[in-house]
Chains A and B, each alone.
Chain A
Amino acid sequence: KAGVTQTPRYLIKTRGQQVTLSCSPISGHRSVSWYQQTPGQGLQFLFEYFSETQRNKGNFPGRFSGRQFSNSRSEMNVSTLELGDSALYLCASMGSTEAFFGQGTRLTVV
């Protein structure tokens, strides 16, 4: 059974650019959540998608957006990147009880 796949693993972008991160959940899981991890703020919830609908959203500006496709794969997009967006972005594939995380995408904004 394949795990949670996040691509790309590493990314370097310039301030003002936009970025799209991808997450393929575990087969059969319909819910995907996204988290941002920074040294100062810890692990913070971004949003959750279930069956292509955003079900919950954290306290992040509108520059952060996401979507989910019919095959449950999810993407998150960050527009007009700022230096403070540099972080590890983790995707969780939500089972009936447990969450399983991908290896993350480490984004560096320069």
Chain B
Amino acid sequence: GIQVEQSPPDLILQEGANSTLRCNFSDSVNNLQWFHQNPWGQLINLFYIPSGTKQNGRLSATTVATERYSLLYISSSQTTDSGVYFCAVEGGSSASKIIFGSGTRLSIRP
């Protein structure tokens, strides 16, 4: 099945800093999503982005499907951005099931 690797595993930044989170995947995908897991455990949808670039406020994401990676950019970080960010893909032999990366734990210090 598809392998999903996220980097870095942990990231500690000061408020106001910018960050880039990376997701590499091992096979072609039909679907790629970025999620933010809040302290209560819920996965919040950030982007559905199997290819191309999208922006939503301070967050943006780019997926280069031909090179099998996706990037999540967070600008002007706020303490509320803290949490775990997951990349999740669906495709190939993993069709109809979502495969998650191991996540990037982001800590924003005031």
Interface flag for A61 (CB, 8 Å): no
- Complex: A81 Cα to B103 Cα, angstroms: 27
> Given A31, A42, A102, which contacts B102 in the complex, CB threshold below 8 Å?
A42
The CA of A98 and the CA of B100, in the complex, are separated in Å by 14
The answer on a CB contact under 8 Å between B98 and A33 is: yes
Chain A interface residue count: which class? 20 to 34
Which residue in A42, A58, A98 is a CB contact (below 8 Å) of B45? A98
Contact A45–B97 (Cβ < 8 Å): yes
Residue positions of B touching A, CB distance < 8 A: 31, 33, 35, 40-43, 45, 48, 86, 88, 96-100, 102-103
Binding site for B on A (CB under 8 A): 31, 33, 35, 37, 42-43, 45, 48, 50, 55-56, 58, 88, 90, 92, 97-104, 106
